[in-house]
């Protein structure tokens, strides 16, 4: 199991349950933080409520900071239920991808295009 792999939540029923709980928590935190920012913005229209609005911004910011923490906690929960052997292993990249670079790919395409152009010209001359 690799960390933050989108397919991890499909590994078992327990993984799906953890995913569901963390997504609900993530959405609730996101919604409350956005609501606090909205109310805080409205409170800034009146100078007598600016102090309260500032605190709503601070609390909303803390909630927005919790978002990546929730995702990290989900990954830790996945690790706690097993399959620790391959966490440190990086994902494997096929050799065909490693051997190709962007410059060589572009060069190959231009060579193929010029060969095609040459064969077209030769066939027209015949």
Instruction: Please give the average per-residue pLDDT across 8-26, as a whole number.
Output: 85
Q: Quickly tell me which residue has 């962007």 as its tokens.
A: 102
Is residue 116 pLDDT above 60, yes or no? Answer: no
Distance (Å, whole) CA 33 – CA 26: 11
State the pLDDT at residue 54. 92
State the pLDDT at residue 62. 94
Instruction: Please give the average per-residue pLDDT across 56-65, as a whole number.
Output: 93
In angstroms, the Cα distances linking 52 to 26, 28, 41, 44, 78 are 25, 22, 10, 9, 39
Is residue 111 pLDDT above 70, yes or no? Answer: no
Q: At CB < 8 A and 24+ separation, what contacts does 72-78 make?
A: 73/22, 74/18, 74/19, 74/22, 75/3, 75/4, 75/8, 77/18, 77/22, 78/1, 78/8, 78/11, 78/15, 78/18
State the pLDDT at residue 80. 84
Is residue 8 pLDDT above 60, yes or no? Answer: yes
Return mean pLDDT, the chain. Answer: 76
Is residue 99 pLDDT above 90, yes or no? Answer: no
Distance (Å, whole) CA 26 – CA 31: 9
State the pLDDT at residue 85. 54
Percent of the chain whose pLDDT exceeds 70 = 61
Q: Which residue has the higher pLDDT, 17 or 90?
A: 17
Q: Quickly tell me which residue has 């064969």 as its tokens.
A: 119
Is residue 38 pLDDT above 70, yes or no? Answer: yes
Tokens of 84: 């620790």
Residue 83, sorted as left (phi over 0), alpha (psi -120 to 50) or beta, turns out to be: left
Q: Quickly tell me which residue has 């609390």 as its tokens.
A: 59
Is residue 24 pLDDT above 90, yes or no? Answer: yes
Find the radius of gyration of the CA atoms of the chain: 27
């Amino acid at each position: 199991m690799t960390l933050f792999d989108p397919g991890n939540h499909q590994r078992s029923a327990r993984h799906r349950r953890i995913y569901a709980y963390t997504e609900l928590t993530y959405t609730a935190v996101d919604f409350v933080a956005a609501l606090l920012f909205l109310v805080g913005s409205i409170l800034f229209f009146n100078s007598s409520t600016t102090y309260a609005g500032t605190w709503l911004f601070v609390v909303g910011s803390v909630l927005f900071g919790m978002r990546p923490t929730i995702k990290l906690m989900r990954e830790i929960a996945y690790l706690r239920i097993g399959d620790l052997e391959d966490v440190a292993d990086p994902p494997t990249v096929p050799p065909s991808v490693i051997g190709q670079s962007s410059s060589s790919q572009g060069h190959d395409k231009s060579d193929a295009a010029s060969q095609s152009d040459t064969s077209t010209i030769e066939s027209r001359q015949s």
